[in-house]
């Protein structure tokens, strides 16, 4: 995964990751046992006034199981740097602690490799299932110890929407989440920087301003591992209270092609039942 794609895809996931603790400020979080319902979000990414990415999330969370699909496509200027058309899916179970994945996979249809990057989850251990295999699983590759307890990116974002499985350390947007994407293992660390006003097509009003720092663990090739400079630069996101949940409605990241802003242009949440 190139640096540009990694930043955008990670940041898109991070949009949901940091909202896990938001129930403390704006009412109780949804209960997994009650079923969360259906969530659909569309995002558009831009540099200045140029569209560079389109992202959608479509998820269903019931009383005992869940399923979700996400798409990520680069467009316009970004396609010159990295042509990406990723579709990802995950399915799993709902338990008292949140969502427990069973199978995750994604495919980049813009690539000529036809590679399917899958992850099976065996008693809490994320096991990669990649066909055709990567030429390298990183230096060093993610060990069993690294992958124990890690979640796929989509399950993480859904756990966040439900305010489950997240170490908040007593404050909204403060803690970390372990992620394995089929090759790389990394944490997202969150810092709350207060409230802010935000305006997007989907939301206008107050939102929590949250910073997410990518902390690489293992599974990176030397040229792909984030630099110290990149690690020190957070993705900034704004988390808005919408229909009883906290939905990331905007984020900003500094990349090789400039400051990218991703904004929600449509949010739809239908409660269970």
Instruction: State pLDDT tens for residues 202-257.
Output: 999 999 898 888 899 999 998 888 888 888 888 888 888 777 667 788 888 876 66
Compute the C-alpha angle 259/79/12, nearest 5°. 50
Answer whether 55's CB lies under 8 Å from 12's CB.
yes
Give the model's pLDDT for residue 38: 85
State the pLDDT confidence band at 133, using cuts at 50, 70 and 90: very high
In the predicted structure, residue 116 carries a pLDDT above the cut 60: yes
List the structure tokens of 234. Answer: 């957070």
Q: Give the pLDDT mean for 79-94.
A: 79
Tell which residue, 8, 6, 2, 1, has the closest CA to residue 259: 8
Cis previous bond, 112, omega within 30: no
Domain segments of the chain as ranges: 3-270
Instruction: Count how many Cα atoms sit within 13 Å of the Cα of residue 10 in the half-sphere of its side chain.
Output: 33
Least confident of 13-22, 41-50, 92-101, 114-123: 13-22
Give the model's pLDDT for residue 147: 98
Answer whether 269's CB lies under 8 Å from 38's CB.
yes
The sign one gets for the Cα dihedral 158, 163, 166, 169 is positive
Answer whether 20's CB lies under 8 Å from 160's CB.
yes
The string of pLDDT tens digits covering residues 46-66 is 877 777 788 898 989 888 999
The total of other beta-carbon atoms located within 10 Å of residue 270's CB is: 12
State the pLDDT confidence band at 21, using cuts at 50, 70 and 90: very low
Give the model's pLDDT for residue 163: 52
pTM over the 0.85 mark: no
């Amino acid at each position: 995964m190139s640096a540009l794609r990694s930043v955008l895809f990670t940041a898109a996931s991070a949009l949901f990751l940091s909202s896990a603790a938001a129930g403390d400020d704006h009412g109780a979080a949804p209960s997994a046992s009650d079923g969360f319902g259906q969530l659909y979000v569309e995002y558009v990414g831009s540099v200045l006034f140029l569209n560079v990415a389109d992202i959608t999330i479509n998820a269903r969370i019931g009383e005992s199981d869940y399923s979700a699909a996400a798409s990520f496509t680069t467009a316009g200027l970004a396609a010159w740097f990295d042509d990406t058309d990723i579709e990802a899916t995950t399915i799993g179970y709902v338990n008292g602690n949140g969502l427990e994945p069973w199978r995750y996979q994604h495919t980049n249809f813009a690539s000529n490799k036809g590679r399917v990057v899958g992850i099976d989850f065996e008693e809490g251990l994320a096991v990669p299932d990649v066909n055709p295999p990567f030429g390298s699983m990183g230096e060093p590759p993610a060990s069993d110890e690294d992958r124990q307890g890690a979640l796929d990116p989509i399950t993480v974002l859904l756990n966040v929407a439900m305010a489950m499985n997240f170490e908040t350390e007593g404050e909204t947007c403060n803690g970390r989440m372990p992620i394995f994407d089929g090759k790389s293992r990394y944490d997202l660390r969150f810092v709350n920087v207060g409230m802010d006003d935000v305006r997007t097509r989907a939301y206008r009003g107050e939102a929590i301003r949250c910073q997410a720092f990518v902390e690489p663990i293992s599974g990176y090739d030397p040229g792909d591992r984030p630099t110290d400079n990149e690690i020190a630069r957070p993705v900034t996101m704004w988390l808005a209270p919408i229909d009883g949940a906290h939905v990331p409605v905007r984020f900003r990241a500094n990349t090789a092609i400039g400051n990218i802003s991703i904004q929600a242009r449509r949010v739809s949440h239908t409660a269970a039942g």
